[in-house]
Amino acid sequence: MTHFKARVLVSLRPSVLDPAGEAAKAAANRLGVEGVKQLRIGKCIELELEASDELEARSRLEFLADRLLANPVIEDWTLEILSGSSI
Amino acid sequence: MTHFKARVLVSLRPSVLDPAGEAAKAAANRLGVEGVKQLRIGKCIELELEASDELEARSRLEFLADRLLANPVIEDWTLEILSGSSI
C-alpha cells in the first residue's frame, strides 16, 4: 500500500458570478492594495489516501472530485497528487 | 508593469476541527471510496495582479493573505505565484 497526499482545487466556472470574490476585491482596494484585477474564491480540499498504486489513487480521487467535492454544473476542479510513500 | 497570476491557499490550522471535512470524509465512505485517511477543506483564492516586479507583487499578496484572505488565529496560508507576463 502507498500513502498519497493530494489536493483537489475547486473553482467556480468563469461564467458563474462570484459575489464573495468581488467583495474581497473591493476590500483589497479599501486596504490600499492596488492593481488587483481579478479575485475569485474557490475551495482547496486536502486529502490523504491509501491505495495500491497511483493509478488507483487517481481514479478514486477523480470519482470523489466529480461526485462529492465539486458541483460540475457551476464548478471546475483539478487534481494534484503531491506525494506518495510506501507504508 | 507585469501581470501576475497567483493563488493563495488557506487551510485550517491542524489543531482546529473541520466538521465540514469530517462530513465529506464520511460521505466518501458512503459512496464506496475506501482508504480516505484525512480530508480537510480549505480555500483557494485565485488572483490576477498588476505590479512592477515579482517582489512588489509578492509583498502585496502577502499583505492581502495576512489581513484579508486568512484569519491567522485559526488558519495558515501559502502563496504561489503561477506566472508573470509583461504588459
Q: Which of A49, A60, A69 sits opposite B24 (nearest CB)?
A: A69
Average pLDDT score over residue span B18-26 = 97
The DSSP letter of residue A70 is -
Contact B35, B49 (CB under 8 A): no
- Domains in chain B (CATH in brackets) are 2-86 (3.30.1280.10)
The dihedral over CA atoms of B17, B21, B23, B27, expressed in degrees to the nearest 10, equals -150
From chain A, pick out residues whose CB is under 8 angstroms from the CB of B37: 3, 48-50
C-alpha–C-alpha distance, residues B40 and B25, integer Å: 9
Q: Which of A42, A50, A68 sits opposite B35 (nearest CB)?
A: A50
C-alpha–C-alpha distance, residues B11 and A2, integer Å: 24
Mean pLDDT score of chain A, rounded to an integer? 95
Q: Which of residues 39-58 of A touch B (CB under 8 A)?
A: 39-51
What percent of chain A clears pLDDT 70, i.e. is strictly above it? Answer: 100
**What residues are paired with A43 via a beta bridge?**
A10, B43
Q: Over the stretch B30-86, which tens digit does the pLDDT of each residue have?
A: 999 999 999 999 999 999 999 999 999 999 999 999 999 999 999 999 999 998 888
Q: Does the CB of A81 have a partner CB in chain B at under 8 Å?
A: no
Residue B87 pLDDT > 80: no
Beta-strand pair B36-51/B2-12: antiparallel
Residue A87 pLDDT > 80: no
> DSSP string spanning A7-37?
EEEEEE-TTS--HHHHHHHHHHHHTT---EE
Confidence of residue A84 (pLDDT cuts 50, 70, 90): confident
Q: Does the CB of B65 have a partner CB in chain A at under 8 Å?
A: no
The DSSP letter of residue B29 is H
From chain B, pick out residues whose CB is under 8 angstroms from the CB of A10: 44
Q: Which of residues 8-27 of B touch A (CB under 8 A)?
A: 9-11, 21, 24, 27
pLDDT for A74 equals: 97
Residue closest to A24 by CA, chosen among A11, A10, A12, A41: A41
Across chain B, the runs of DSSP E, i.e. the strands, are 2-12, 36-51, 75-86
